[in-house]
Amino acid sequence: MNTSASVLSDKLHAVQARIAAACAASVRRADSVRLLAVSKTFSADDVRQVAACGQLDFGENYIQEGIDKITALQGDAQSLVWHCIGPIQSNKTKLVAEHFDWVHAIDRLKIAQRLNDQRPAHLAPLNVCLQVNIDGGDTKSGIAPADVLALAREVAQLPRLSLRGLMTIPDPVDGFDAQVAVHAKAGALFDSVKTALNLPQFDTLSMGMTGDLEAAIHAGSTMARVGTAIFGGRTYIAQ
């Protein structure tokens, strides 16, 4: 799937304007929220076009698809930062450790340990976030809020990982106030864990997507994961 450069540029700038407006409404600096462009199911050429507009962070849910794009773009976009934002099975940790810069979906110590052990020595420590099932959704991945601090303490001890924060994907709710209420729970949890750990690098609350971007920023998101509003609707493929 390929989209014209002008359309992608317009969409990216519209999202950036939404982030700036949401930050202003929440009395926050516009640069306090990092935009993560979720490029899953879209082509390396689409990523290249968006990167040409200055976007550096890209998120992939499907590991092999993401690696294919990382490989395809290595020659002309070496400054891109790649985030693995989907679930990781044990047999895929080596691939993730070798190719990605960030992992957002750690919810088990076993996966964190494998990523740590398989991170190549010549690369910087892998930036990781713990995925939290903040609203208790039955079908959602992530650890329970009550278990976050214990896992965070263990992950923080792994030398080839850098624990950066928390990630959430709550179930959709209608209305700005309802969205803020859910995200505010994650914001409060993030603040409490940050205080308890006292880690300078614990600075990332990965929260908010196309449909709830403004509410997430109002509640304290520092990294918004936006795909549809930049790349358009998706055609999913079997993995």
Burial 142-170 (b: 16+ CB within 10 A, else e): bbebeebeebbeebbebebbbbbbbbbbb
pLDDT in tens, 75-126: 875 689 999 999 999 999 999 999 999 999 999 999 999 999 999 999 999 9
- pLDDT-wise least confident of 1-10, 90-99, 110-119, 176-185: 1-10
Q: 93 and 118 in contact (C-beta within 8 Å)?
A: yes
Domain 5-231: give its CATH superfamily: Alanine racemase (3.20.20.10)
β-pairing, 102-106 vs 126-132, is: parallel
- In this model, does residue 238 exceed pLDDT 70? no
Q: 103 and 92 in contact (C-beta within 8 Å)?
A: no
Per-domain boundaries in the chain: 5-231
Task: Quote the DSSP letter at residue 124.
Answer: P
Share of the chain above pLDDT 70, in %: 95
